[in-house]
Structure 1
Amino acid sequence: MRIAVIDIGTNSIHMLMAEIHPNFTFEVIGREKEMTRLGDGTMAKRYLSKAVMERGLATIRKFYFLAQSKGIQKIVAVATSAVREASNGGDFIRKIKKETKIRVRVITGEEEGRLIYLGVKHSLELPEGNTFIIDIGGGSVEILVVNPQRILFLKSLKLGAARLNQLFLQKDGEKDLRRLEKHVAAQLKNILPQIKALGFGHAIGTSGTLNNLAAMAFYAKNKGQEYSPRDGSLEYGDMKDLYQRLAHSSAEERAAMKGLDPLRNDLIVGGAAVTLAFMKGLGIKELRLCDKAIREGMVYDYIARHRFRLKSEETIPDVRLRNVLRLAAKCNYEKGHAEHTAKLALQVFDRTQKLHRLAGVDRELLEYASLLHDIGYHISFSKHHKHAYYLIKNAGLNGFSDEEIDVLALVARYHRRGLPRSGHPEYAALPRRTRRRVSWLAGILRIADALDRSHFAVVDSVEVRVKKKRATFLLSAHNDAEYELWDAKQKCDLFEKLSGRETLFCLKEKAGAPAVKAPSAPLDREVEDKTG
């Protein structure tokens, strides 16, 4: 399966495209990034301007069409700080949905942190013990203390690089810089003791801001060498020196510093101030850089949430069967009984074709109804056939027409207890031809379900011999099947009425044994087309 994840951030919009493999690993097949600066003016005004929105929409439209050209089957999108805090963020989300059909999830800072953890955890081998993680975005900073098993501490702070730039650094003055430093210190005052109390042996940094800082520090020390983000790190002494250079630099001087992305020129000072404050306050001597974070975390999160779906798409190419099995699994169905009932039902369907004269699509619907007939147990044993009807009707099964869903739901509903009749509104509302289909399929399912009454697949197979006045079911069984015979006698009533034939059941291995005759019953006028 091919998936694209879109991260609508305060500074940039990123898209990662990946191929998910059957073993639940994935391979990145493409990355895209546009620095849309959605946070420009937004952090202070809490409002996305028309120009900002159009920049974002243009990028998302571009990403959408690119994803389609790459054969992407699923797009997952999240929006973070800029959209989350804007009073008209909902309007932006609505425009995206209208123009691209992409449903964007606006996530909290804490959810950002969780996804960052997933991305880091699966990209680096976290050492035993605690690790500190920091991600500096445009609007917020996510800080975590984690171990390989779980998150121990997670906090999202409104200290993103774009936010600090808008609030404090519009004039490039010394006083503004001191105000920024005091603001950061105040935000960290109550946080640092909590982190220190947990303790950590290693520190990891993610995000474009930190990778830029690491690259700038590297080039300041290593002339003529190339920086590799994969092996990047940032030492406290280098960070301290770099901050001093940045704090007293003009935009022109920063532009000449190797390693700085030109589009981050005005944002890097605020990011550097936050980085130095954390490294100094927590005594971090070295920050290891990781170039995997929230987007990779989004892919891992999707895989974790959709393991059954991904597995079924690989092994079950038929979308209708796949969705039926997905619903069945969601309702904790008894797989063995459901599959054996479906097997017996299809055998009966095939061997009684000259009676019912139904089409191939009806055979398919019988199989699906057999797989779902007991899912009502998920709600309650009592009236579980009616609960099955409700679940099927309201499951939103993709790949089926409304009429086919009606047939599935009603066949499951009539697999036990009362027979179809005009007093049932859902049945009566169907066209005459469809009522006939429901009745025949339910009649077959009632017998198939009875022939696995013990749920031990005692009856291996069924043959049916149809004569003018009699239908004889010849059963192959590998164990005592008296319980199944008893229940089949009770539940063949609908089949007998529809076929207009006496119904008998006989065990093949008990040659010469008398056939078990179904109890006679008067013909129900509400059941149509008795002879098929």
Structure 2
Amino acid sequence: MSETTERSTSAGLMPPRTVAVIDIGATSIRMAVAEISDLGLVRTIDSLTRKITLGEDVFKSRQITRSSIEECVRILRSYQKVLLEYGITSAVDIRVVATSAVREAANRLAFLDRVFVATGLEVESIEEAEVNRITYMGIQPHLDSDPKLAVAKSVVVEVGGGSTEVLVVRSGNVLFSETHRLGSLRLAERLESLGAPGMRRRSIMETQIRQTVARIREQVFAEDGKIELIALGGDMRFAASHILGDWDGGTLARVSVDALDALVNEVLKYNEDEIVQKLNVNFSDATTLGPALLSNLMLARIFQLDTVLVSDTNLRDGLLLEMASEGRWTAEFRNQILRSAMTLGRKCDFDQPYAKHVAASASLLFEQLKAEHQLDAKYEVMLHVAALLHEIGMFVDVRSNHKHAMYLIRNSEIFGLSRQDVLLVALVARYHRRAHPQPGHEGYGSLSRSERVAVAKMAALLRLAIAMHDSRSGRVQEFKCIKQRDRLVIEVPRVEDVTLEQLAVRQNSTLFEEVFGLRVMVRAEQ
């Protein structure tokens, strides 16, 4: 166990907050303990890893076995003893997440409930989009600190036990993110189920990997520019340490693709017992080492690279950074979400200038009416996204375009937003016109009360923002909201005649009146 350093007690400095994150993956449960300073700086002070067989269970039968569930409970209880030693007892200082194996398990809820009953720990089964978002938070400091990576197109890849996460970043902008059902444990289980002889194992894996690698290549090459492949994951960390010898993990390691090829050839000629003996890895890692390294090698080869960068960044790093920010979305992260939304809008041939005007006004309403809606800042981002995309349904048909917009948004990935976030955005866009929210509407009735209220509030604000731009001329650049008893006055400067806006608001403010209890009027600045 790592030693903690003496905490500062200097005047004006708060002692660091000690927190922990636990990642339940397909092949292991990992925990990181860290200190977060009052400036939001994170210092990891302890890391623990215990092997499990969740992925083996789920990828074979889609069920987590009873014995595996109890093994997870035992590991988590042992971690709780460690947390107690660090004085970490509050739920707000502990975050536990589960990835692909738990997410895909048919008895996922039974697993989550059993863990809660036995340990009191709330486990979040995080979605693919959430994993990509957290991965970006973890890798971003490396990208920002390296001038070459800051301008290159960086393809960040992690071949995990159950899936391969791909994140493409250029000049700080996330071009796209995606998750593929290609994982090292899945490949190993596939080989075992086929009973393939040793000489055919590589060709079978290459066939499986090639399909995914080709899809990734096609997406990445849709954009021009120099490519840097940044590999994450324990298997590539092992490769970097094995090949370079003196890599401490503190910086990005540059590994020769030829050296990686030689290591892959060496690993694939051994069985699991020989890998354990000759390369000094544990048995569970020996099972996935070959498939993971081969997947990374084939990616490097298809991009015609001479070297691959390896990072020791992991999911826990991103989780800790998120805890340090106390769940707030930074301005840069907000911009990443909006850029992803703009990309979707352009795919649907939206009216970009108009959409940006409406979105800006929606955000202005959100800011000026905080006392009325009392929503968290993340809802401003969702409202802005819904405002940008509210007309994309016209790409399908002008008739019922609000419903088409909901369908398109709901079935798209917007970087940084979870599936539930995307659903809320889709519903807000759906309610930009016509019917008000109803319990029988698809998606809306299944929301919690707080989510239903948030959707209604955002939709009401969006309708006002749209009404303020009924002329589609962009002439309303700013306005001021003034509350007067039971009405809201929107005062518009530098526009002499606001008759059109007055009429549009009168026709589109009924939802706002229902939700907030305020009549709305528009007037020119006096």
TM-score range, shorter chain: 0.5 to 0.7
1:328 and 1:297 map into 2 onto residues whose CA distance is 32
1:332 and 1:160 map into 2 onto residues whose CA distance is 39
Give the aligned partner of residue 97 of structure 2: 78
Distance 1:307-1:252 versus aligned 2 partners, 3 A rule: closer
CA contact 2:168–2:174 (8 Å) conserved in 1: yes
The structural deviation recorded for 1:226 is 4.2
Distance 1:307-1:247 versus aligned 2 partners, 3 A rule: closer
2:257 is the counterpart of 1:236: yes
Give the aligned partner of residue 241 of structure 2: 215
The structural deviation recorded for 1:123 is 4.7
Please point out which of 23, 27, 51 is paired with 2:39. Answer: 23
Alignment of 1:258-277 (within 5 A): 258=279, 260-277=281-298
Distance 1:284-1:56 versus aligned 2 partners, 3 A rule: farther
Aligned pair count reads 311
2:103 is the counterpart of 1:93: no
Give the aligned partner of residue 488 of structure 1: none
CA contact 1:121–1:148 (8 Å) conserved in 2: no
Distance 1:236-1:154 versus aligned 2 partners, 3 A rule: same
Letter in 2 for 1:54: E
Give the aligned partner of residue 453 of structure 1: none
Please point out which of 21, 45, 53 is paired with 1:37. Answer: 53
Distance 1:306-1:265 versus aligned 2 partners, 3 A rule: closer
Please point out which of 136, 141, 158 is paired with 1:117. Answer: 136
Give the aligned partner of residue 301 of structure 2: 280
Letter in 2 for 1:133: V
* RMSD between superposed Cα atoms in Å: 2.6
CA contact 2:272–2:283 (8 Å) conserved in 1: no
2:23 is the counterpart of 1:11: no
Letter in 1 for 2:39: N
TM-score (norm 1): 0.54
Give the aligned partner of residue 383 of structure 2: none
Give the aligned partner of residue 202 of structure 1: 228
1:259 and 1:136 map into 2 onto residues whose CA distance is 21
The structural deviation recorded for 1:242 is 1.6
Post-superposition Cα deviations, 1:186-241, rounded to whole Å, max 9, x if no partner, equal 222222111122244422111111112223334xxxxxx54433353322101111
Give the aligned partner of residue 155 of structure 2: 132
Alignment of 1:296-335 (within 5 A): 296-306=317-327, 331=374
Distance 1:200-1:304 versus aligned 2 partners, 3 A rule: farther
1:208 and 1:76 map into 2 onto residues whose CA distance is 21
CA contact 1:212–1:259 (8 Å) conserved in 2: no
2:274 is the counterpart of 1:253: yes
TM-score (norm 2): 0.55
Give the aligned partner of residue 349 of structure 2: none
> Which secondary structure state, in structure 1, belongs to the residue aligned with residue 308 of structure 2?
strand
Please point out which of 177, 181, 200 is paired with 1:154. Answer: 177
CA contact 2:21–2:319 (8 Å) conserved in 1: yes
Give the aligned partner of residue 207 of structure 2: 182
Unaligned runs of at least 5 residues, structure 1 = 219-224, 309-326, 334-393, 396-532
Alignment of 1:365-514 (within 5 A): none
Distance 1:173-1:98 versus aligned 2 partners, 3 A rule: same
The structural deviation recorded for 1:330 is 8.9
> Which secondary structure state, in structure 1, belongs to the residue aligned with residue 317 of structure 2?
helix
Post-superposition Cα deviations, 1:217-276, rounded to whole Å, max 9, x if no partner, equal 34xxxxxx5443335332210111122222222234322333644431121111122111
> Which secondary structure state, in structure 2, belongs to the residue aligned with residue 266 of structure 1?
helix
Distance 1:148-1:75 versus aligned 2 partners, 3 A rule: farther
CA contact 2:20–2:33 (8 Å) conserved in 1: yes
The structural deviation recorded for 1:307 is 5.6
Please point out which of 291, 296, 312 is paired with 1:291. Answer: 312
The structural deviation recorded for 1:21 is 1.2
CA contact 2:229–2:300 (8 Å) conserved in 1: no
The structural deviation recorded for 1:173 is 2.7
Distance 1:282-1:104 versus aligned 2 partners, 3 A rule: same
The structural deviation recorded for 1:184 is 1.0
The structural deviation recorded for 1:93 is 0.8
CA contact 2:73–2:119 (8 Å) conserved in 1: no
Unaligned runs of at least 5 residues, structure 2 = 1-16, 330-369, 377-448, 451-526
CA contact 1:39–1:82 (8 Å) conserved in 2: yes
Report the identity percentage. 23
Distance 1:261-1:229 versus aligned 2 partners, 3 A rule: farther
2:80 is the counterpart of 1:64: yes
CA contact 2:273–2:283 (8 Å) conserved in 1: no
1:328 and 1:290 map into 2 onto residues whose CA distance is 45
2:206 is the counterpart of 1:164: no
Moved more, 87-96 or 141-150: 141-150
The structural deviation recorded for 1:10 is 0.5
